[in-house]
A = this chain, B = another copy of it.
Amino acid sequence: MTLLSENTEADMRHRILVVAERLFREIGYQKTTVADIAKLLQMSPANVYRFFDSKKAIHKGVARHLMAEVEQAAIAIVHAPGPAVQRLRDLLTTVHRMNCERYIGDAKLHEMVAIAMEENWDVCIAHMEFITGTIGEVIVQGVASGEFKVADVPQAASCTCAAMIRFFHPQMIAQSFNKERPTLEDMIDFVLAALGAGRRADAQ
């Protein structure tokens, strides 16, 4: 019975987040009320508050969900076969592409992200650390295969992530939207050079 009720609770939390995300996309985060979310779920606002103690908590849940999708895609690339150089390219491209889709194509979602970055900063930091971790795993693989030449992997991973801010960070993507240079490919080549990729070619 306990397991059943736990499942029901997880299911309810999930349903609330799905509806909330839909409303945040359709009418915006600011304009969405807990009453709107409850109404669509055909329940009372008091019932929603049984699962999330504030609209901010719902917001945090939606932000986590959006970030978790990017994290899952990143993990899949870490465990994929193939050379580390190519997988690092894939990983950096995927994070950029998914963040563009999420936060740039959708102006209302962008509003939600801007607020997330002010109010749920810990969720954003945890996400960045997760992505930095996946970058570090690919770098470790590349060092093992001789593709990268890196002395301090965590440092190289944090520098890689920082170097990509223009292509990862929702606000920076939005500000750079019409900038021609550098392209994503230029930037990834630059990062790969910093990681020592291509030096083997020099030595040939």
A195 to B191 alpha-carbon distance, docked (Å) = 10
| Count of this chain's copies in the oligomeric assembly | 2
Chain B residues whose CB sits within 8 angstroms of the CB of A160 once the complex forms:
190
Q: Is the interface of A mostly helix, strand, loop or mixed?
A: helix
Tell me the minimal C-beta distance from A201 to chain B in angstroms. 12
Q: Are A158 and B175 in contact (CB under 8 A)?
A: no
Chain B residues whose CB sits within 8 angstroms of the CB of A156 once the complex forms:
190
Mark out the residues of chain A between 49 and 88 whose CB falls within 8 Å of any chain B CB in the assembled complex. Answer: none
A160 to B166 alpha-carbon distance, docked (Å) = 12
Interface string of A148-163 (1 = CB under 8 A from B): 0000001110111011
Q: Are B190 and A159 in contact (CB under 8 A)?
A: yes
